Copies of this chain bind each other. A is one copy, B any other.
Amino acid sequence: MPRERLVVIGGVAAGMSAASRARRLRPDLEIVVLEKGRHVSYGACGLPYYLSGQITDWRELVVYDADFFREQRGIDVRLEHEAVRIEPARKLVHFLARNAREGSLHYDKLVLAAGGAPAERIPGADSQRVFTCNDLDGTIRLRQFMETENPRSAVIVGSGYIGLEVADAFVRRGLRVAILERSEAVLEGAEPEIAAQVEAELLERGVELIKNSVAREIASGSGDHALEVRHGASAAHPADLVLLATGIVPRVVLAESAGILLGPTGAIAVDDRMLTSVSSIYAAGDCVETRHLVSGKPCYFPLGTTANKQGRVAGENAAGGNAAFPGVVGTLATKVFELEIARTGLSVAQSRAAGFQPDSVFIRSTSRAKYFHGQQILLKLIWDRPSARLLGCQMAGREGVAKRIDVVALALQARLRVPDLLYTDLSYAPPFAPVWEPLLIAANEAAKKLAR
């Protein structure tokens, strides 16, 4: 009798987590991973730091390489194998391998971890000087370009966290950087007070910020610059290279070929066991939508840490286990130059869109005791006025921000209310915190507003 076979499509965060988890639970299972690129199991969130040179060698980003999975974990990793079609009726995956070699594989269970793709292609984006920072191969190519072609200037289209992290990396490499943002503020979903702080940080570092203007076309440049990005009605900005960072969209072509249902966000719909609408097919990572535990609604929130968790759950269930992924509360942290930014839950606007009646407070506090030279922390706390339920929190500051958001993330998961945070026993010592934690100060301000 042939061994039962698990096929995993995609070998980055979600895919390799699924394969590894399944292997741990089922030593008997045959596990095949089809990865279209040349690398597996790398930390995609570290790509901007490889660009900047803070990570010297891309191999440092690779947690384990394909040989490790083959030899140590008995996982049949096939690089440069692109899955092109799924036939659920026959339980077949068709793929295209190196040199256009076609093939197909039977599966008993399938985990779809196809990831996401850059959201937007504009005319001219096929130039050799236009890049994304979405996968390892493309990012290696961008760094090689910077090291061999000595570009002096860059335009970054989009100011999400990838755009901002790459702006930081480019400035470290000595490039003049302009960011082109279609809306009126950076970092979609950021509260105005936080976005303003981020913009101040960018300007202080010499980054030019062009807001309220949509990139129309990337064309050949004139004079000193190889390219120009045409935007808005008639403006243009010269650049030696362009980075597209307008977000990612789920890769769903394969899922659609299999008749798998998509959800309202356009990503693959899964239940809490990461099972799709088609039996024996699980999905995880940047190709799926997930439940937002605050709004209660499906959301598309593609992040490496979520992909790892979902992959683990998908792998466990594909191996016959019974794990559940509860959803996310929308936690996000990053560092732009010296400014740490973190958020969790819903913004005021997102709260309103989700049917809440949000209210908020914005406070300034410090990261440590005053007499211990604390740095300023900005904090906005958002709650639902009728119920006092916590909805979200956003923070910015030069230290002590990223891990401070976690306590609110857990509060949102546990559906806590403002009064629950008034006297929470958070850690205090002068080198780490002020006597009244910023969050407790905000909760007390919120309680005052609730009492009015």
Contact = CB atoms under 8 A, between A and B. Distances in A.
Contacts of A400: 403
Interface in A321-356: 325-326, 328-335, 340, 342, 344
A413 interface: yes
Given A43-B435, A335-B432, A403-B432, A420 B427 contact: no
A278 interface: no
Given A410-B424, A435-B304, A429 B334 contact: yes
A436 interface: yes
A331 B45 contact: no
Interface in A426-449: 426-433, 435-437
Interface stretch (A132-140, A190-198, A305-313): A305-313
A411 B410 contact: yes
Scoring A13, A325, A333, A410 by chain B CB atoms within 10 A of each residue's CB, the highest score goes to A410
A325 B413 CA distance: 23
A262 to B, nearest CB: 23
A423 B333 contact: no
B55 A371 contact: yes
Contact of A430 (B46, B328, B414): B46
Given A414-B420, A423-B326, A436-B308, A431 B369 contact: no
Contact of A333 (B371, B420, B432, B436): B432
A410 B420 CA distance: 9
Nearest to A367: B403
Number of copies: 2
Contacts of A407: 406-407, 409-410
A169 to B, nearest CB: 12
A86 to B, nearest CB: 27
A55 B405 CA distance: 29
Interface string A62-104: 0100000000000000000000000000000000000000000
A397 B365 CA distance: 26
A273 B219 CA distance: 70
A436 B305 CA distance: 7
A429 B402 contact: yes
Nearest to A426: B406
A425 B45 contact: no
A78 B68 CA distance: 72
Given A410-B407, A432-B403, A423 B61 contact: no
Nearest to A308: B435
A409 to B, nearest CB: 5
Contacts of A325: 423
Contacts of A60: 370-371
A170 to B, nearest CB: 17
A427 to B, nearest CB: 4
Contacts of A429: 45, 333-335, 402
A425 B331 contact: yes
A226 interface: no
Nearest to A48: B430
A55 B368 CA distance: 13
A339 to B, nearest CB: 12
Given A308-B435, A369-B43, A435-B304, A332 B427 contact: yes
A303 interface: yes
Interface in A218-257: none
Nearest to A292: B425
A307 to B, nearest CB: 9
A216 interface: no
A263 to B, nearest CB: 19
A427 B414 contact: no
A427 B405 contact: yes
A272 to B, nearest CB: 10
Given A331-B426, A333-B432, 4 more contacts: A335-B429, A340-B432, A403-B433, A414-B420
13 contacts: A45-B369, A293-B425, A308-B436, A325-B423, A331-B428, A333-B433, A344-B425, A402-B429, A403-B403, A406-B426, A407-B410, A411-B414, A414-B420
